[in-house]
Structure 1
Amino acid sequence: MLSGDITQRARRAQFRAAREFVDRLNTPSTLVIPGNHDIPLFNLAARLFWPYANFLREFPSVSGVHDSTRLLVVALNTTRPSRHKNGVLSHEQIEAVVAQLSQARPGQLRVVVTHQPIAVERAEDEHDRLRGPLREAMQRWAEAGADLVLGGHIHLPYVMPLFGAETPLKRRMWAVQAGTSVSQRVREGIPNSVNLIRWGGVLPLGLCLIERWDYLAEARAFARARATALDTGWLPPEPPAFSP
Protein backbone atom coordinates (compact mmCIF):
# COMPACT_ATOMS: atom_id res chain seq x y z
CA MET A 1 0.00 0.00 0.00
CA LEU A 2 1.41 3.37 -1.09
CA SER A 3 -0.41 6.19 0.72
CA GLY A 4 0.49 9.00 -1.67
CA ASP A 5 3.27 11.44 -2.59
CA ILE A 6 4.61 8.94 -5.09
CA THR A 7 6.42 11.74 -6.93
CA GLN A 8 7.86 15.15 -6.16
CA ARG A 9 6.26 17.18 -8.96
CA ALA A 10 3.76 14.83 -10.64
CA ARG A 11 5.79 14.61 -13.84
CA ARG A 12 5.26 11.80 -16.31
CA ALA A 13 8.85 10.51 -15.99
CA GLN A 14 8.57 10.47 -12.21
CA PHE A 15 5.44 8.34 -12.33
CA ARG A 16 7.11 5.98 -14.81
CA ALA A 17 10.04 5.57 -12.41
CA ALA A 18 7.59 4.95 -9.55
CA ARG A 19 5.76 2.31 -11.58
CA GLU A 20 9.02 0.54 -12.38
CA PHE A 21 9.96 0.59 -8.69
CA VAL A 22 6.60 -0.88 -7.66
CA ASP A 23 6.91 -3.58 -10.31
CA ARG A 24 10.32 -4.59 -8.93
CA LEU A 25 8.72 -5.23 -5.54
CA ASN A 26 6.85 -8.11 -7.18
CA THR A 27 3.99 -8.05 -4.68
CA PRO A 28 0.79 -10.03 -5.38
CA SER A 29 -1.34 -6.89 -5.09
CA THR A 30 -0.62 -3.18 -4.75
CA LEU A 31 -2.92 -0.25 -3.95
CA VAL A 32 -1.68 3.26 -4.72
CA ILE A 33 -3.44 6.55 -3.98
CA PRO A 34 -2.24 10.05 -4.89
CA GLY A 35 -0.86 12.62 -2.49
CA ASN A 36 -0.75 16.37 -2.93
CA HIS A 37 2.65 16.06 -4.65
CA ASP A 38 1.05 13.82 -7.29
CA ILE A 39 -1.01 16.70 -8.72
CA PRO A 40 0.73 19.22 -11.02
CA LEU A 41 1.73 22.35 -9.12
CA PHE A 42 3.12 24.72 -11.74
CA ASN A 43 1.11 23.51 -14.77
CA LEU A 44 -2.13 25.25 -13.87
CA ALA A 45 -4.06 23.99 -16.92
CA ALA A 46 -3.20 20.38 -16.11
CA ARG A 47 -4.04 20.93 -12.44
CA LEU A 48 -7.43 22.36 -13.37
CA PHE A 49 -8.55 20.09 -16.20
CA TRP A 50 -6.68 16.77 -15.86
CA PRO A 51 -4.94 16.71 -12.45
CA TYR A 52 -4.53 12.93 -12.31
CA ALA A 53 -3.61 12.27 -15.94
CA ASN A 54 0.03 11.36 -15.30
CA PHE A 55 -0.88 9.33 -12.21
CA LEU A 56 -3.42 7.32 -14.19
CA ARG A 57 -0.93 6.57 -16.95
CA GLU A 58 0.87 4.26 -14.51
CA PHE A 59 -1.67 3.35 -11.83
CA PRO A 60 -5.21 2.14 -12.49
CA SER A 61 -7.22 4.35 -10.15
CA VAL A 62 -6.94 7.13 -7.57
CA SER A 63 -8.80 4.97 -5.05
CA GLY A 64 -9.44 1.28 -4.64
CA VAL A 65 -10.30 -1.77 -2.57
CA HIS A 66 -8.26 -4.87 -1.75
CA ASP A 67 -10.31 -7.81 -0.53
CA SER A 68 -8.55 -11.06 0.40
CA THR A 69 -8.97 -13.82 2.96
CA ARG A 70 -7.29 -11.93 5.78
CA LEU A 71 -7.40 -8.33 4.65
CA LEU A 72 -9.91 -5.69 3.56
CA VAL A 73 -8.37 -2.35 2.56
CA VAL A 74 -10.40 0.67 1.43
CA ALA A 75 -8.14 3.38 -0.03
CA LEU A 76 -9.52 6.89 -0.58
CA ASN A 77 -8.41 9.84 -2.66
CA THR A 78 -8.36 12.78 -0.22
CA THR A 79 -6.43 15.16 -2.48
CA ARG A 80 -8.24 18.09 -4.06
CA PRO A 81 -6.80 20.04 -7.04
CA SER A 82 -8.27 23.23 -5.57
CA ARG A 83 -6.09 22.89 -2.48
CA HIS A 84 -2.33 23.21 -2.38
CA LYS A 85 -1.59 20.73 0.43
CA ASN A 86 -4.63 20.01 2.52
CA GLY A 87 -6.86 17.03 1.90
CA VAL A 88 -10.60 16.75 2.35
CA LEU A 89 -12.81 13.88 3.41
CA SER A 90 -16.40 14.10 2.21
CA HIS A 91 -19.60 12.67 3.66
CA GLU A 92 -19.94 10.56 0.51
CA GLN A 93 -16.51 9.03 1.08
CA ILE A 94 -17.35 8.29 4.71
CA GLU A 95 -20.47 6.40 3.68
CA ALA A 96 -18.68 4.60 0.85
CA VAL A 97 -16.18 3.25 3.39
CA VAL A 98 -19.01 2.17 5.69
CA ALA A 99 -20.62 0.29 2.80
CA GLN A 100 -17.36 -1.52 2.02
CA LEU A 101 -16.70 -2.37 5.67
CA SER A 102 -20.20 -3.79 6.00
CA GLN A 103 -19.14 -6.50 3.54
CA ALA A 104 -16.10 -7.57 5.56
CA ARG A 105 -15.80 -11.25 6.38
CA PRO A 106 -14.81 -12.81 9.71
CA GLY A 107 -11.07 -12.94 10.11
CA GLN A 108 -10.27 -9.93 7.96
CA LEU A 109 -8.20 -7.00 9.24
CA ARG A 110 -10.19 -3.96 8.16
CA VAL A 111 -8.14 -0.98 7.02
CA VAL A 112 -8.95 2.48 5.69
CA VAL A 113 -6.25 4.53 3.91
CA THR A 114 -6.09 8.29 3.35
CA HIS A 115 -3.16 10.47 2.30
CA GLN A 116 -3.41 13.20 4.92
CA PRO A 117 -3.48 11.97 8.53
CA ILE A 118 -6.78 11.54 10.32
CA ALA A 119 -5.04 12.29 13.63
CA VAL A 120 -1.73 13.87 14.64
CA GLU A 121 0.40 13.54 17.75
CA ARG A 122 1.77 17.09 17.83
CA ALA A 123 0.01 20.45 17.83
CA GLU A 124 2.40 21.80 15.18
CA ASP A 125 1.16 19.16 12.71
CA GLU A 126 -2.51 20.04 13.14
CA HIS A 127 -2.49 22.25 10.02
CA ASP A 128 -1.60 19.18 7.93
CA ARG A 129 -4.44 17.10 9.31
CA LEU A 130 -7.19 15.89 7.00
CA ARG A 131 -10.12 18.32 6.68
CA GLY A 132 -13.78 17.39 6.90
CA PRO A 133 -16.11 15.66 9.39
CA LEU A 134 -13.39 13.58 11.03
CA ARG A 135 -15.25 12.84 14.26
CA GLU A 136 -18.16 11.51 12.22
CA ALA A 137 -15.77 9.46 10.10
CA MET A 138 -14.08 7.87 13.10
CA GLN A 139 -17.37 7.06 14.78
CA ARG A 140 -18.97 5.65 11.63
CA TRP A 141 -15.91 3.64 10.61
CA ALA A 142 -15.38 2.21 14.07
CA GLU A 143 -19.03 1.24 14.26
CA ALA A 144 -18.67 -0.45 10.86
CA GLY A 145 -15.67 -2.45 12.11
CA ALA A 146 -12.53 -0.61 10.98
CA ASP A 147 -9.33 -1.55 12.80
CA LEU A 148 -6.73 0.80 11.30
CA VAL A 149 -6.65 4.12 9.46
CA LEU A 150 -3.39 4.48 7.52
CA GLY A 151 -1.93 7.77 6.29
CA GLY A 152 1.15 9.54 5.04
CA HIS A 153 1.78 13.19 4.05
CA ILE A 154 3.72 14.45 7.09
CA HIS A 155 6.74 12.11 6.88
CA LEU A 156 6.41 11.07 10.54
CA PRO A 157 5.88 7.41 11.48
CA TYR A 158 3.72 6.74 14.52
CA VAL A 159 0.89 4.63 15.89
CA MET A 160 -1.79 6.24 18.06
CA PRO A 161 -5.21 5.20 19.36
CA LEU A 162 -8.24 6.95 17.93
CA PHE A 163 -10.47 5.84 20.79
CA GLY A 164 -10.53 7.64 24.14
CA ALA A 165 -12.34 10.18 26.25
CA GLU A 166 -12.34 12.87 23.53
CA THR A 167 -13.50 10.47 20.82
CA PRO A 168 -15.63 7.70 22.31
CA LEU A 169 -15.84 4.93 19.72
CA LYS A 170 -17.80 1.69 19.58
CA ARG A 171 -14.56 -0.31 19.26
CA ARG A 172 -10.79 0.06 19.20
CA MET A 173 -9.32 1.77 16.16
CA TRP A 174 -5.82 3.12 15.53
CA ALA A 175 -4.10 5.62 13.27
CA VAL A 176 -0.95 4.21 11.67
CA GLN A 177 1.21 6.81 9.93
CA ALA A 178 3.94 6.11 7.42
CA GLY A 179 7.26 7.89 7.39
CA THR A 180 9.35 8.51 4.25
CA SER A 181 10.11 5.28 2.44
CA VAL A 182 12.71 6.04 -0.24
CA SER A 183 12.77 9.82 -0.76
CA GLN A 184 15.45 12.11 0.66
CA ARG A 185 12.72 14.27 2.21
CA VAL A 186 13.00 12.93 5.75
CA ARG A 187 12.07 14.92 8.85
CA GLU A 188 13.86 15.68 12.09
CA GLY A 189 16.56 13.09 11.73
CA ILE A 190 14.10 10.21 11.33
CA PRO A 191 15.55 7.79 8.75
CA ASN A 192 13.69 6.38 5.79
CA SER A 193 11.21 3.82 7.01
CA VAL A 194 8.39 1.52 6.00
CA ASN A 195 5.59 -0.04 8.02
CA LEU A 196 4.99 -3.78 7.91
CA ILE A 197 1.60 -4.88 9.24
CA ARG A 198 1.26 -8.47 10.42
CA TRP A 199 -2.07 -10.18 10.98
CA GLY A 200 -3.09 -13.81 11.36
CA GLY A 201 -0.74 -16.74 10.95
CA VAL A 202 1.09 -17.47 14.19
CA LEU A 203 -0.24 -14.33 15.89
CA PRO A 204 -3.00 -14.73 18.50
CA LEU A 205 -6.55 -14.02 17.35
CA GLY A 206 -7.25 -10.30 17.26
CA LEU A 207 -3.61 -9.22 17.59
CA CYS A 208 -2.20 -6.91 14.93
CA LEU A 209 1.53 -6.21 14.89
CA ILE A 210 2.83 -2.95 13.41
CA GLU A 211 6.53 -3.18 12.61
CA ARG A 212 8.51 -0.09 11.68
CA TRP A 213 11.56 -0.88 9.58
CA ASP A 214 14.20 1.88 9.37
CA TYR A 215 16.88 2.24 6.74
CA LEU A 216 20.41 1.78 8.11
CA ALA A 217 22.73 3.75 5.86
CA GLU A 218 25.89 1.91 6.90
CA ALA A 219 24.33 -1.50 6.27
CA ARG A 220 22.43 -0.22 3.21
CA ALA A 221 19.41 -2.20 4.36
CA PHE A 222 16.17 -1.86 6.30
CA ALA A 223 16.03 -3.35 9.80
CA ARG A 224 13.18 -3.63 12.28
CA ALA A 225 13.35 -0.66 14.64
CA ARG A 226 10.09 -0.95 16.55
CA ALA A 227 7.12 -3.28 16.94
CA THR A 228 3.74 -2.22 18.31
CA ALA A 229 1.16 -4.84 19.24
CA LEU A 230 -2.47 -3.77 18.89
CA ASP A 231 -5.33 -5.74 20.40
CA THR A 232 -8.21 -5.16 18.00
CA GLY A 233 -10.65 -6.99 20.22
CA TRP A 234 -11.58 -9.20 17.26
CA LEU A 235 -13.13 -12.53 18.24
CA PRO A 236 -14.19 -15.44 16.05
CA PRO A 237 -17.94 -15.78 15.50
CA GLU A 238 -19.79 -17.83 18.08
CA PRO A 239 -20.82 -21.31 16.94
CA PRO A 240 -24.53 -21.81 16.37
CA ALA A 241 -26.49 -22.97 19.40
CA PHE A 242 -26.93 -26.74 19.59
CA SER A 243 -30.49 -27.94 19.16
CA PRO A 244 -31.18 -31.55 20.10
Structure 2
Amino acid sequence: MTLLLQISDPHFGTEQPRVVAALSRLIETMPPDLVIVSGDITQRARKRQFAAARAFFDTLGATPALVVPGNHDIPLFNVFARCFQPYANHQRAFGAELEPSFESRDVMVLGVNTTRPYRHKDGEVSMQQVKRVSARLESATARQLRIVVTHQPVAVTRAQDEDNLLHGRERAVPRWARAGADLIVGGHIHLPYVLPLHDTFANLPRRLWAVQAGTALSSRTRGSIGNSVNVIRYCVDASDAAGRRVVVERWDYADTGDRFEQRAKHDLALDGATQAAAVTSAG
Protein backbone atom coordinates (compact mmCIF):
# COMPACT_ATOMS: atom_id res chain seq x y z
CA MET A 1 0.00 0.00 0.00
CA THR A 2 1.11 3.55 -0.76
CA LEU A 3 0.17 6.28 1.72
CA LEU A 4 0.06 9.92 0.62
CA LEU A 5 -0.56 12.92 2.89
CA GLN A 6 -2.10 16.04 1.34
CA ILE A 7 -1.36 19.27 3.19
CA SER A 8 -2.82 22.46 1.77
CA ASP A 9 -2.89 26.12 2.73
CA PRO A 10 -0.81 25.95 5.91
CA HIS A 11 -0.24 29.74 5.59
CA PHE A 12 2.93 29.88 7.67
CA GLY A 13 2.82 33.23 9.39
CA THR A 14 -0.65 32.36 10.71
CA GLU A 15 0.14 28.79 11.79
CA GLN A 16 -1.06 27.58 15.19
CA PRO A 17 1.72 25.90 17.22
CA ARG A 18 -0.61 23.35 18.82
CA VAL A 19 -1.93 22.31 15.41
CA VAL A 20 1.61 22.10 14.00
CA ALA A 21 2.61 19.81 16.87
CA ALA A 22 -0.50 17.68 16.37
CA LEU A 23 0.23 17.27 12.67
CA SER A 24 3.80 16.25 13.47
CA ARG A 25 2.46 13.58 15.81
CA LEU A 26 0.06 12.32 13.13
CA ILE A 27 2.93 12.01 10.64
CA GLU A 28 5.01 10.13 13.22
CA THR A 29 2.25 7.59 13.83
CA MET A 30 1.33 7.26 10.15
CA PRO A 31 4.46 7.93 8.06
CA PRO A 32 3.54 8.81 4.46
CA ASP A 33 5.43 7.76 1.36
CA LEU A 34 4.94 11.28 -0.02
CA VAL A 35 3.64 14.59 1.31
CA ILE A 36 1.70 16.61 -1.29
CA VAL A 37 1.56 20.33 -0.53
CA SER A 38 -1.05 22.03 -2.73
CA GLY A 39 -0.11 25.67 -2.30
CA ASP A 40 -0.37 28.69 -0.01
CA ILE A 41 2.57 27.60 2.06
CA THR A 42 2.86 31.12 3.48
CA GLN A 43 0.57 33.99 4.34
CA ARG A 44 2.51 36.78 2.60
CA ALA A 45 5.44 35.12 0.80
CA ARG A 46 7.97 36.58 3.24
CA LYS A 47 11.40 35.05 3.81
CA ARG A 48 10.77 34.29 7.46
CA GLN A 49 7.46 32.58 6.64
CA PHE A 50 9.12 30.39 4.03
CA ALA A 51 11.92 29.68 6.51
CA ALA A 52 9.36 28.51 9.08
CA ALA A 53 7.70 26.30 6.46
CA ARG A 54 11.06 24.86 5.40
CA ALA A 55 11.92 24.12 9.02
CA PHE A 56 8.67 22.20 9.45
CA PHE A 57 9.15 20.10 6.33
CA ASP A 58 12.75 19.43 7.33
CA THR A 59 11.38 17.59 10.37
CA LEU A 60 9.97 14.99 7.96
CA GLY A 61 13.48 13.70 7.42
CA ALA A 62 13.76 11.46 4.36
CA THR A 63 10.06 11.66 3.53
CA PRO A 64 9.77 13.39 0.14
CA ALA A 65 7.48 16.41 -0.26
CA LEU A 66 6.02 17.67 -3.53
CA VAL A 67 5.32 21.38 -3.13
CA VAL A 68 3.51 23.69 -5.57
CA PRO A 69 3.01 27.42 -4.94
CA GLY A 70 -0.28 29.11 -4.20
CA ASN A 71 -1.36 32.69 -4.78
CA HIS A 72 -0.25 33.65 -1.25
CA ASP A 73 3.27 32.49 -2.09
CA ILE A 74 3.72 35.43 -4.46
CA PRO A 75 4.44 38.85 -2.86
CA LEU A 76 1.35 41.03 -2.67
CA PHE A 77 2.62 44.38 -1.42
CA ASN A 78 6.14 44.30 -2.88
CA VAL A 79 5.19 45.26 -6.43
CA PHE A 80 8.74 45.00 -7.81
CA ALA A 81 9.17 41.46 -6.45
CA ARG A 82 5.73 40.45 -7.67
CA CYS A 83 6.53 41.61 -11.20
CA PHE A 84 10.17 40.58 -11.55
CA GLN A 85 10.95 37.95 -8.88
CA PRO A 86 7.58 36.51 -7.86
CA TYR A 87 8.91 33.09 -6.82
CA ALA A 88 12.31 34.06 -5.40
CA ASN A 89 11.46 33.30 -1.76
CA HIS A 90 9.57 30.14 -2.66
CA GLN A 91 12.47 28.84 -4.75
CA ARG A 92 14.98 29.76 -2.07
CA ALA A 93 13.10 27.51 0.36
CA PHE A 94 11.89 24.69 -1.88
CA GLY A 95 14.11 24.70 -4.95
CA ALA A 96 13.91 26.04 -8.47
CA GLU A 97 11.29 23.59 -9.75
CA LEU A 98 7.80 25.11 -9.53
CA GLU A 99 6.11 22.09 -11.12
CA PRO A 100 7.68 19.12 -9.36
CA SER A 101 6.74 15.50 -9.96
CA PHE A 102 7.07 12.24 -8.08
CA GLU A 103 6.96 8.76 -9.49
CA SER A 104 7.18 5.31 -7.96
CA ARG A 105 6.05 1.86 -9.02
CA ASP A 106 2.52 2.58 -7.82
CA VAL A 107 1.97 6.35 -8.15
CA MET A 108 2.61 9.24 -10.51
CA VAL A 109 2.07 12.70 -8.99
CA LEU A 110 2.40 15.78 -11.22
CA GLY A 111 2.52 19.33 -9.86
CA VAL A 112 1.11 22.24 -11.86
CA ASN A 113 1.91 25.86 -11.05
CA THR A 114 -1.49 27.52 -11.45
CA THR A 115 -0.48 30.86 -9.92
CA ARG A 116 -0.04 33.93 -12.09
CA PRO A 117 1.67 37.12 -10.85
CA TYR A 118 -0.71 39.25 -12.93
CA ARG A 119 -3.73 37.82 -11.14
CA HIS A 120 -4.61 38.74 -7.56
CA LYS A 121 -5.74 35.33 -6.34
CA ASP A 122 -7.17 33.55 -9.37
CA GLY A 123 -5.35 30.62 -10.93
CA GLU A 124 -4.86 29.59 -14.52
CA VAL A 125 -3.64 26.58 -16.44
CA SER A 126 -2.19 27.16 -19.91
CA MET A 127 -2.52 24.91 -22.93
CA GLN A 128 1.21 24.25 -22.72
CA GLN A 129 0.75 22.99 -19.16
CA VAL A 130 -2.26 20.91 -20.19
CA LYS A 131 -0.24 19.22 -22.93
CA ARG A 132 2.81 18.67 -20.72
CA VAL A 133 0.77 17.00 -17.99
CA SER A 134 -1.18 14.94 -20.54
CA ALA A 135 2.02 13.60 -22.06
CA ARG A 136 3.29 12.52 -18.64
CA LEU A 137 -0.02 10.90 -17.75
CA GLU A 138 -0.02 8.93 -20.98
CA SER A 139 3.34 7.46 -20.02
CA ALA A 140 2.00 6.02 -16.75
CA THR A 141 1.76 2.29 -16.22
CA ALA A 142 -1.54 0.49 -15.74
CA ARG A 143 -0.91 -0.02 -12.01
CA GLN A 144 -0.03 3.58 -11.16
CA LEU A 145 -2.41 5.97 -9.43
CA ARG A 146 -2.23 9.17 -11.49
CA ILE A 147 -2.59 12.43 -9.55
CA VAL A 148 -2.47 16.04 -10.78
CA VAL A 149 -1.83 18.74 -8.16
CA THR A 150 -3.16 22.28 -8.63
CA HIS A 151 -3.75 25.03 -6.11
CA GLN A 152 -7.11 26.41 -7.24
CA PRO A 153 -10.05 23.98 -7.51
CA VAL A 154 -11.38 22.57 -10.78
CA ALA A 155 -14.85 22.06 -9.26
CA VAL A 156 -16.70 23.47 -6.26
CA THR A 157 -19.66 22.46 -4.13
CA ARG A 158 -21.13 25.92 -3.49
CA ALA A 159 -22.14 28.75 -5.80
CA GLN A 160 -20.25 31.34 -3.74
CA ASP A 161 -16.98 29.55 -4.51
CA GLU A 162 -17.33 29.65 -8.29
CA ASP A 163 -15.20 32.81 -8.52
CA ASN A 164 -12.30 30.72 -7.20
CA LEU A 165 -12.42 28.12 -9.96
CA LEU A 166 -9.27 27.50 -11.97
CA HIS A 167 -9.24 29.32 -15.29
CA GLY A 168 -8.66 26.88 -18.15
CA ARG A 169 -10.24 23.95 -16.31
CA GLU A 170 -12.74 23.38 -19.13
CA ARG A 171 -9.96 22.27 -21.48
CA ALA A 172 -7.63 20.78 -18.85
CA VAL A 173 -9.98 18.35 -17.11
CA PRO A 174 -11.24 16.51 -20.23
CA ARG A 175 -7.73 16.35 -21.67
CA TRP A 176 -6.26 14.99 -18.42
CA ALA A 177 -9.11 12.50 -18.14
CA ARG A 178 -8.40 11.18 -21.63
CA ALA A 179 -4.73 10.91 -20.71
CA GLY A 180 -5.57 8.73 -17.71
CA ALA A 181 -5.74 10.98 -14.62
CA ASP A 182 -7.45 9.53 -11.54
CA LEU A 183 -7.37 12.42 -9.06
CA ILE A 184 -6.97 16.20 -9.26
CA VAL A 185 -6.07 17.48 -5.80
CA GLY A 186 -6.09 21.11 -4.69
CA GLY A 187 -6.83 23.65 -1.99
CA HIS A 188 -7.22 27.46 -2.01
CA ILE A 189 -10.73 27.77 -0.55
CA HIS A 190 -10.04 26.06 2.81
CA LEU A 191 -12.93 23.65 2.23
CA PRO A 192 -12.40 19.87 2.17
CA TYR A 193 -14.51 17.71 -0.15
CA VAL A 194 -14.40 14.98 -2.78
CA LEU A 195 -16.32 15.38 -6.04
CA PRO A 196 -16.85 13.06 -9.03
CA LEU A 197 -15.69 15.14 -11.98
CA HIS A 198 -17.23 12.57 -14.32
CA ASP A 199 -20.59 13.86 -13.07
CA THR A 200 -19.57 17.53 -13.29
CA PHE A 201 -17.93 17.56 -16.72
CA ALA A 202 -19.82 16.11 -19.67
CA ASN A 203 -18.56 13.04 -21.51
CA LEU A 204 -15.41 12.30 -19.54
CA PRO A 205 -14.08 8.93 -20.74
CA ARG A 206 -13.19 7.65 -17.25
CA ARG A 207 -13.83 8.23 -13.59
CA LEU A 208 -11.92 11.27 -12.34
CA TRP A 209 -12.17 12.72 -8.84
CA ALA A 210 -11.52 16.18 -7.39
CA VAL A 211 -9.97 15.93 -3.93
CA GLN A 212 -9.87 19.23 -2.05
CA ALA A 213 -8.17 19.89 1.28
CA GLY A 214 -8.89 22.46 3.95
CA THR A 215 -6.26 24.56 5.67
CA ALA A 216 -3.82 22.34 7.52
CA LEU A 217 -2.39 24.71 10.11
CA SER A 218 -3.68 28.26 9.76
CA SER A 219 -5.90 30.24 12.10
CA ARG A 220 -7.64 31.42 8.90
CA THR A 221 -10.22 28.65 9.03
CA ARG A 222 -13.51 28.93 7.20
CA GLY A 223 -16.68 29.15 9.27
CA SER A 224 -17.30 25.88 11.08
CA ILE A 225 -14.60 24.09 9.04
CA GLY A 226 -11.47 23.71 11.12
CA ASN A 227 -7.97 22.55 10.28
CA SER A 228 -7.74 19.36 8.25
CA VAL A 229 -5.52 17.25 6.02
CA ASN A 230 -6.19 14.40 3.60
CA VAL A 231 -4.72 10.93 3.79
CA ILE A 232 -4.81 9.03 0.48
CA ARG A 233 -4.33 5.25 0.62
CA TYR A 234 -3.72 3.35 -2.59
CA CYS A 235 -3.26 -0.34 -3.20
CA VAL A 236 -3.05 -2.63 -6.20
CA ASP A 237 -4.52 -6.11 -5.81
CA ALA A 238 -3.85 -8.40 -8.74
CA SER A 239 -6.32 -10.94 -7.35
CA ASP A 240 -9.18 -8.42 -7.38
CA ALA A 241 -11.15 -7.82 -10.58
CA ALA A 242 -11.16 -4.08 -9.83
CA GLY A 243 -7.37 -4.18 -9.45
CA ARG A 244 -6.77 -0.68 -8.09
CA ARG A 245 -8.32 0.86 -4.98
CA VAL A 246 -7.97 4.35 -3.53
CA VAL A 247 -9.36 5.59 -0.23
CA VAL A 248 -9.36 9.28 0.72
CA GLU A 249 -9.61 10.05 4.43
CA ARG A 250 -10.19 13.47 5.94
CA TRP A 251 -8.43 14.05 9.24
CA ASP A 252 -9.55 17.09 11.28
CA TYR A 253 -7.80 18.75 14.17
CA ALA A 254 -9.79 18.31 17.40
CA ASP A 255 -9.24 20.87 20.16
CA THR A 256 -10.55 18.51 22.81
CA GLY A 257 -7.97 15.84 22.13
CA ASP A 258 -5.31 18.18 20.75
CA ARG A 259 -4.85 15.80 17.82
CA PHE A 260 -5.94 15.05 14.27
CA GLU A 261 -8.81 12.55 14.05
CA GLN A 262 -10.34 10.80 11.07
CA ARG A 263 -13.72 12.36 10.28
CA ALA A 264 -14.62 11.06 6.81
CA LYS A 265 -13.65 8.25 4.47
CA HIS A 266 -14.26 8.08 0.72
CA ASP A 267 -13.77 4.77 -1.08
CA LEU A 268 -13.40 5.83 -4.70
CA ALA A 269 -14.12 3.73 -7.77
CA LEU A 270 -11.52 3.97 -10.51
CA ASP A 271 -11.36 3.19 -14.21
CA GLY A 272 -14.98 2.97 -15.19
CA ALA A 273 -16.25 0.91 -12.28
CA THR A 274 -20.01 1.27 -11.99
CA GLN A 275 -20.27 1.90 -8.27
CA ALA A 276 -20.29 5.45 -6.97
CA ALA A 277 -18.02 6.58 -4.19
CA ALA A 278 -19.04 5.11 -0.87
CA VAL A 279 -18.80 7.84 1.72
CA THR A 280 -18.91 7.01 5.39
CA SER A 281 -18.47 9.22 8.39
CA ALA A 282 -16.27 8.34 11.29
CA GLY A 283 -16.38 9.88 14.73
Count of aligned residue pairs for this structure pair: 234
Measure how far apart 1:164 and its partner are.
2.5
The answer to whether the 8 A contact 2:206-2:272 is kept is no
Measure how far apart 1:188 and its partner are.
1.4
The answer to whether the 8 A contact 2:130-2:172 is kept is yes
Residue-by-residue CA offset, 1:68-93 (whole Å, 9 max, x unaligned)? 11110010000000011001111001
TM-score if structure 2 supplies the norm length? 0.80
The structure, 1 or 2, with the larger RCO (C-alpha pairs under 8 Å, 6+ apart) is 2
Residue-by-residue CA offset, 1:71-120 (whole Å, 9 max, x unaligned)? 10010000000011001111001000101101111211000010000111
Alpha-carbon distance between aligned partners in 1 of 2:38 and 2:250, rounded to the nearest angstrom: 15
Residue-by-residue CA offset, 1:197-230 (whole Å, 9 max, x unaligned)? 0001679622210000000111111011100000
Change (3 A) 1:165 1:125: closer
Alpha-carbon distance between aligned partners in 1 of 2:104 and 2:46, rounded to the nearest angstrom: 33
The answer to whether the 8 A contact 1:135-1:167 is kept is no
The equivalent residue for 1:107 is 143
The equivalent residue for 2:43 is 8
Alpha-carbon distance between aligned partners in 1 of 2:64 and 2:105, rounded to the nearest angstrom: 13
Alpha-carbon distance between aligned partners in 2 of 1:29 and 1:58, rounded to the nearest angstrom: 15
The equivalent residue for 1:241 is none
The answer to whether the 8 A contact 2:207-2:272 is kept is no
Please say if 1:74 is aligned against 2:110.
Answer: yes
The equivalent residue for 1:242 is none
TM-score if structure 1 supplies the norm length? 0.92
Change (3 A) 1:216 1:202: farther
Matches within 5 A, 1:38-49: 38-49=73-84
Tell me which structure has the larger Cα radius of gyration.
1
Residue identity matched to 1:93: Q
Measure how far apart 1:167 and its partner are.
1.8
Secondary structure class of the residue paired with 1:25: coil
Of 195, 207, 210 in structure 1, the residue corresponding to residue 245 of structure 2 is: 207
Residue identity matched to 2:80: A
Q: Which runs of 5+ in 1 are unaligned?
A: 236-244
Cα RMSD (Å): 1.6
Q: Percent identity?
A: 51
